[in-house]
Amino acid sequence: AVDINKLRDLTGFITLDPGYKNSGSCTSEITFLDGELGILRYRGYSIEDLAEQASFPEVSYLLIFGELPTAQQLAQFDADIKKHTLVNEEMKNIIDGFPKTAHPMGVLSALTSALTAFNPKSVNVENEKEMYDAVCKTIAKFLVIATWTYRKTMGYPLNYYDNTIGYVENFMQLMFKLPTGPYAANPIVVNALDKLFILHGDHEQNCSTSTVRMVGSSHAGLFASISAGVSALWGPLHGGANQAVLEMLEEINKDGGDTDKFMAKAKDKNDPFRLMGFGHRVYKNFDPRARIIKKAADEVLNTLGVDDPILAIAKKLEAAALEDEYFKSRSLYPNVDFYSGIIYRALGIPTDMFTVMFAIGRLPGWIAQWKEMRENKEPIGRPRQIYTGHPLREFKSNK
Ligand code: ACO
C-alpha cells in the first residue's frame, strides 16, 4: 500500500484523484446535470422540453452553437449537412479490408479516423464559417459511416444518404433499405429514435467526452478527436451498458425465463449478479431520460406488435422491480440503457450495434465540447502522477 504522507514529502503537493471523481477539468456552458434531483439540461433547456418539442438536428444545433436555431437557420443547417453526405468512395476500400465479424465500434472508430485522410485541412476554430462547415461535414459523414458498419456485418451493399428526407429517417433507410424495393420508415419509430438521440446528446464530462476534449487539447483535428471518443465509448463501463441489458435478458431467457429467480439473485448480497439497466451512478432518484424514453418504448412495442420472449422478460422485470421493496428502497429504477436496449431490439438492430447508436446520439455533444474547449483556448491536458516505482538503480545488465 502507498503511504500517502511519505509520498507527499517526496513529490510536493499533487492532488491524487484516480478517475477524476472530484476534479473539474474545465468550465462548460453546455450541459447542466443534477443527479440527486434528476435534472438534465442542455444550454439551460430541460431535457423533457427538448425531447418533447424539438428534433435531433435542432438539439444538435443548440448544443453546438449555444442557441436554438430559427426555422430558417434550421432549414439551412439541414441543407448544409446534405451538402456533405457523400463519403469518399475510397473509404469503401478501407471498409472492405475489415472482416465481416469485426465489431462495429472498432470499424466506426477506424473509419472516423480515416476521414481525416480524406479531409486533411484542419479547421480554424476562430473562423466561424470554417467551423460551421466542419460541423456540418462531421454530422453528415458520421451518420453514413456509422450505418455502413452495420451493412458491413450483414454483407449488404452500402447505402447512400437520401437528400429528400430528414436525418433520422435517413438513419433508418441507410441501415435497412434493401436494393429490392422502396423504403419508408415508420414515423413512430423515427419519433422514438429522434428522442433517443436527443437524450444521448450530451452528458457533460463523461469518459468519451473528456477523451474528445483531451485529444483535441493537443490541437488534434475534429475527426481524430471524435475517433478517440468512439473508442472510449466502446468500453463496457461506458457505452456498453445497453448491450449488457440485452445479454442479461438473453441469459434469463435461456435459463427458462423465470424472472423471480433473477430478481432474487440480484438481491442476494452473496451473488455478484446485478439487474442490468437498473440504478445509475449519477441519477440517484430517477433518470430523467428513462422517464421520457419509457413512453416511446411502449409506443414502439405497441405499434410494431413485436412478439419476442426477450422483450416480454424485459416488461416482466420492469414491472417486478417497480413493485419490489429492495429496488424501491434503494431507488433502483430502470435507466435509459434499459429502454434504449428494448427499442433497439424491437427495431431489429443487433446488440453489437447498440453502442454505435449511442455514438450517433452523442456526436453533437462531442463536437460542442471540442469546439468549446478550443474556443476557450484551454491548455493541453496533461495530468500529473505520483511516482511509486523504484528509486534510482545502478545499471547492471541481466544479459
Ligand atoms: N441490481 C441489484 N442491486 C443493485 C443494483 C442492481 N442493478 N444497482 C445497485 N444495487 C444495490 C447495491 O448492491 C447497493 O445495495 P446495498 O445498499 O444493500 O449495499 C445499493 O443498490 C446502492 O448501489 P451502489 O452500488 O452504491 O450504486 P452505485 O452508484 O455504486 O452503482 C451502478 C451504480 C453501477 C449503475 C449500479 O446501479 C449497477 O451496477 N447497475 C447495473 C448496471 C447498469 O445498468 N449500468 C448502466 C448505468 S449507466 C452509468 O452509470 C454510466
pLDDT in tens, 70-107: 999 999 999 999 999 999 999 999 999 999 999 999 99
Instruction: Give nearest CA residue, ligand 1 atom 28.
Output: 281
Which pLDDT belongs to residue 181? 85
**Centre of ligand 1 from the C-alpha of residue 283, in Å:** 11
Contact 378, 214 (CB under 8 A): no
Pocket test for ligand 1, best of 267, 278, 328, 331 (most atoms within 8 A of CB): 278
Q: 311-324 burial, b if ≥16 CB within 10 A, otherwise e?
A: bebbebbbeebeeb
**Centre of ligand 1 from the C-alpha of residue 300, in Å:** 28
CA distances to 164, 170, 263, 326 from 85, in Å: 12, 11, 47, 50
Element (H, E) at 21: none
Please list the ranges in the chain whose pLDDT falls under 50: none
Q: What residue ranges line ligand 1, CB within 6 angstroms?
A: 241, 266, 274-281, 330, 332, 335, 337
* Pairing mode of beta strands 45-46, 31-34: unpaired
Nearest ligand 1 atom to alpha carbon 237: 51
Which pLDDT belongs to residue 119? 87
**Centre of ligand 1 from the C-alpha of residue 20, in Å:** 20
Q: Measured between alpha carbons, how far is 324 from 267 in angstroms, rounded to an integer?
A: 10
Contact 339, 293 (CB under 8 A): yes
**Centre of ligand 1 from the C-alpha of residue 274, in Å:** 7
Residue 104: burial class (beta carbons within 10 Å; 0-12, 13-18, 19+) = buried
**Centre of ligand 1 from the C-alpha of residue 330, in Å:** 9
Which pLDDT belongs to residue 243? 86
Q: Measured between alpha carbons, how far is 309 from 244 in angstroms, rounded to an integer?
A: 17
User: Which residues, other chains included, contact 182 with Cβ-Cβ below 8 Å and sequence gap of 6+?
Assistant: none
Q: Measured between alpha carbons, how far is 28 from 23 in angstroms, rounded to an integer?
A: 14
Contact 62, 68 (CB under 8 A): yes
Query: Which grid cell is 322?
Result: 417497480
> 280, 298, 307, 352: which is the annotated catalytic residue?
280
**Centre of ligand 1 from the C-alpha of residue 331, in Å:** 10
Which pLDDT belongs to residue 236? 82
Which pLDDT belongs to residue 28? 98
Whether 133 is catalytic: no
Whether 298 is catalytic: no
Ramachandran category for residue 161: left, alpha or beta (phi over 0 → left; psi -120 to 50 → alpha) = beta
**Centre of ligand 1 from the C-alpha of residue 332, in Å:** 7
Instruction: Give nearest CA residue, ligand 1 atom 15.
Output: 330
Q: Measured between alpha carbons, how far is 153 from 169 in angstroms, rounded to an integer?
A: 21
Residue 344: burial class (beta carbons within 10 Å; 0-12, 13-18, 19+) = buried
Instruction: Give nearest CA residue, ligand 1 atom 16.
Output: 330
SS3 31: strand
**Centre of ligand 1 from the C-alpha of residue 322, in Å:** 15
Smallest CA-to-CA distance from 116 within 74, 81, 145 is with: 145
Instruction: Give nearest CA residue, ligand 1 atom 17.
Output: 330
Q: What do you get for the CA distance between the two ends of the chain, in Å?
A: 32
> 255, 337, 352, 390: which is the annotated catalytic residue?
337
Which pLDDT belongs to residue 378? 96
Instruction: Give nearest CA residue, ligand 1 atom 29.
Output: 281
CA distances to 33, 266, 360 from 250, in Å: 33, 16, 25
β-partners of residue 45 are 42
Q: Measured between alpha carbons, how far is 31 from 9 in angstroms, rounded to an integer?
A: 39
Residue reference for cell 480524406: 118
Looking at residue 387, what DSSP letter applies? -
Instruction: Give nearest CA residue, ligand 1 atom 4.
Output: 274
Q: How far is CA 149 from the centre of its chain?
A: 16
Instruction: Give nearest CA residue, ligand 1 atom 51.
Output: 238
Task: List own/partner pairs for 249-258 with CB under 8 A and 24 or more apart.
Answer: 249/310, 249/313, 249/314, 249/317, 249/341, 250/310, 252/313, 252/317, 253/309, 253/310, 253/313, 257/309, 257/312, 257/313
β-partners of residue 33 are 40
Pocket test for ligand 1, best of 281, 342, 354, 358 (most atoms within 8 A of CB): 281
Pocket test for ligand 1, best of 242, 330, 333 (most atoms within 8 A of CB): 330
Q: Measured between alpha carbons, how far is 143 from 111 in angstroms, rounded to an integer?
A: 11
Nearest ligand 1 atom to alpha carbon 338: 44
pTM listed for this prediction: 0.92
